[in-house]
Amino acid sequence: MGRIMQTQKTLMEVRNLKVHFNIKSDNAWPWQKGHALKAVDGVDLTLYEGETLGVVGESGCGKSTLARALLRLVPITEGNVVWLGQDLTELDKKQMRDKRQELQMIFQDPLASLDPRMTVGDIIAEPLHTFHPDWSKQTVKEAVRQMMDRVGLLPNVINRYPHEFSGGQCQRIGIARALILKPKLIVCDEPVSALDVSIQAQVVNLLKELQAEMNLSLVFIAHDLSVVKHISDRVLVMYLGNPVELASKHSLYAQPKHPYTKALMSAVPVPDPQIERNKSIQLLTGDLPSPINPPSGCVFRTRCPHATDVCQGQKPRLYPVSDDHQVACSRLEDIPA
């Protein structure tokens, strides 16, 4: 992270980002207030030009909500998302629409994210029709063909429909659609989780190649810690809507600090059979608490083997423990390495 901070400019700054949803029971009266579901509850991060920030955590930790909040695809309850010095939370609908040329997204389900009534060519060309209505048909078609070739799609499939393609090919279509406007940031919401392992590697390698060519910044969300390690420069670990650790991938994977991160890392399979048999797996006790009624203080304390009464107090924020490592834990000094 130190190299990136010294040589690359800041693209996005996120400060105290919160996304809360008002949840009502089915039998509630119209005038009754609902409960606040705290999907994202105070995220701070900085994204640099040309880097990939991985975001990991178990299901329900707020990864996908965070991804959508960065692009203002869900309402933001509190906080700021500053893109190249401009606060996106202050923009109206038209101003935000113009910004979407620079901010694009690749979705988890490759087939569901494509309109089944549109051909491949029309799907990829749709952003061009929206933002460049003055372009001629030939110019648009040529831009589409070039992008298809770059993501590994044959030009003769331009008039086919999404249902005629495999999951990996559909995700390539989604990538082409996201990149056709040459954006600066791509938010990847678990883009390979629905694909076979061999196809996952192809898609991840394609994203890395495109990033190098186009100087893209990526926010890459995934469950698979091995995939995140392969593609990321830094990694943010989330738990119940809160950031618990943020570090360079080398520092995080070599020396995880937070008890939750250690438990996640211990579950990653090791290719060496002997190491895999002898390694110690740190199992978490209990279930993930409800984001409607999260624990006071540290949200992880109900499942943490090192929790004490101190952890019930103020919620810990990320603080630096080295140049490229931040942790949110009140008892870090007392926890064995």
Angle at alpha carbon of residue 219, lines to 218 and 221, rounded to 5°: 130
320: its two tokens = 């630096």
Cα four-point dihedral sign 223, 226, 227, 229:
positive
270: its two tokens = 């090791």
Rounded Cα distance, 284 and 116, in Å: 42
- Each residue's pLDDT tens digit, 226-257: 889 989 999 999 999 999 999 999 999 989 99
234: its two tokens = 């830094």
The whole-number average pLDDT for the span 94-114 is: 91
**Predicted local distance difference test score (pLDDT) of residue 224:** 83
- Each residue's pLDDT tens digit, 20-35: 998 877 676 676 777 8
**Predicted local distance difference test score (pLDDT) of residue 309:** 87
Rounded Cα distance, 97 and 151, in Å: 26
Distance of alpha carbon 310 from its chain centroid, rounded? Answer: 31
Q: Report domain extents, the chain.
A: 2-22+36-102+183-256
Nearest Cα to 300, choosing from 255, 254, 261, 268?
A: 261
Rounded Cα distance, 20 and 242, in Å: 12
Helices (H), the chain: 2-7, 63-70, 93-99, 120-131, 137-150, 167-179, 197-214, 225-231, 249-254, 259-266, 273-278
203 neighbors 173 (Cβ within 8 angstroms):
no
**Predicted local distance difference test score (pLDDT) of residue 174:** 94
Nearest Cα to 11, choosing from 244, 212, 185?
A: 185
Stated as kind and residue range, the H or E segment containing 215 is none
List all residues 6 or more positions away from 92 whose beta carbon is below 8 Å from its beta carbon. none
- Each residue's pLDDT tens digit, 284-314: 777 788 888 889 999 999 998 888 888 888 8
CATH topology assigned to domain 2-22+36-102+183-256 = Rossmann fold (3.40.50)
pLDDT at 2 over 60: no
Least confident interval from 95-99, 158-162, 190-194: 190-194
Write the single-letter amino acid at 67: A
pLDDT at 4 over 70: no
How much of the chain exceeds pLDDT 70, in percent? 92
Rounded Cα distance, 291 and 109, in Å: 25
Give helix 137-150 / helix 120-131 axis angle, nearest 10°.
Answer: 120
The whole-number average pLDDT for the span 176-182 is: 95
Rounded Cα distance, 173 and 307, in Å: 47
Rounded Cα distance, 190 and 222, in Å: 5
Angle at alpha carbon of residue 234, lines to 322 and 321, rounded to 5°: 15
Local structure of residue 181 (DSSP, 8 states): T
67: its two tokens = 């991804």
pLDDT at 260 over 60: yes
Rounded Cα distance, 11 and 93, in Å: 21
Rounded Cα distance, 28 and 175, in Å: 42
Rounded Cα distance, 50 and 254, in Å: 23
Give the model's confidence band at 1: pLDDT under 50 very low, under 70 low, under 90 confident, else very high: very low
List all residues 6 or more positions away from 212 whose beta carbon is below 8 Å from its beta carbon. none
pLDDT at 279 over 70: no
Give the model's confidence band at 96: pLDDT under 50 very low, under 70 low, under 90 confident, else very high: very high
**Predicted local distance difference test score (pLDDT) of residue 7:** 59
